[in-house]
Chain A
Amino acid sequence: EAAVTQSPRSKVAVTGGKVTLSCHQTNNHDYMYWYRQDTGHGLRLIHYSYVADSTEKGDIPDGYKASRPSQENFSLILELASLSQTAVYFCASSQDWGNYAEQFFGPGTRLTVL
């Protein structure tokens, strides 16, 4: 069964601090995604990647960087965390290039910025 794991599962950060969220998949999938979920907004795409060493901006990339050092790993980086970045973050992976393919999600990371 496809597996996507995230770490940490929850984190409390201070405003202005650096936060790194990690995602690891064992699906051998090319695509990986980072979403954030907020009440009233559903899930929104932050960054995604379709190949190692390359990332693409999603719909709400401001304030976030992404890194894809290998096919299996995809990180989301908040260089200067802000209160507005308090949310639940989900990582996902999918197989196909060019056409939407079924996505598999990690368990989520709850980030609280104080």
Chain B
Amino acid sequence: EQQVQQSPASLVLQEGENAELQCSFSIFTNQVQWFYQRPGGRLVSLLYNPSGTKQSGRLTSTTVIKERRSSLHISSSQITDSGTYLCAMEQGNTDKVVFGTGTRLQVSP
């Protein structure tokens, strides 16, 4: 059973369009982090968002812990945004982190 679900699994946009990525989870947590994985593998932390709304540049994350969901909004997408987006969270108070399977984003000119 996948404890952290992400949707959509893949997304194709034209440059300039906005993207909305969803993360829903069945585990108890109070910390959510969003990552970007470049083609080729390197993981980069985008936003660390325990709760509420947090913004960084064109990225906005909204986490509602009691509803067990988090979203990542990418405004005015660019070709260089292409890659995989992962959400991750601590499982209860176990010190273990669980990742979603990711959303693969492709932005075309």
Give per-residue flags for A73-106: 1 if the beta carbon is below 8 A from chain B beta carbons, else 0: 0000000000000001010100000111111110
Say yes or no: A44 contacts B43, CB within 8 Å.
Answer: no
For residue A2, which residue of chain B has the nearest CB? B45
Say yes or no: B42 contacts A107, CB within 8 Å.
Answer: yes
Chain A residues, Cβ within 8 Å of B95: 31, 48, 50, 56, 98, 100
Say yes or no: B99 contacts A44, CB within 8 Å.
Answer: yes
The verdict on A12 contacting chain B, using a C-beta distance below 8 Å, is no
Say yes or no: A99 contacts B31, CB within 8 Å.
Answer: yes
The DSSP consensus for interface residues of chain B is strand
Q: Which one of A16-24, A35-43, A62-70 is at the B interface?
A: A35-43
Say yes or no: A43 contacts B45, CB within 8 Å.
Answer: no
Say yes or no: A42 contacts B86, CB within 8 Å.
Answer: yes
Say yes or no: A108 contacts B41, CB within 8 Å.
Answer: yes
**Which B residues lie at the A interface, using CB under 8 A?**
4, 29-31, 33, 35, 41-45, 48, 86, 88-90, 93, 95-102
Q: Closest 3 CB pairs between A and B? A: A100-B90, A100-B31, A105-B43
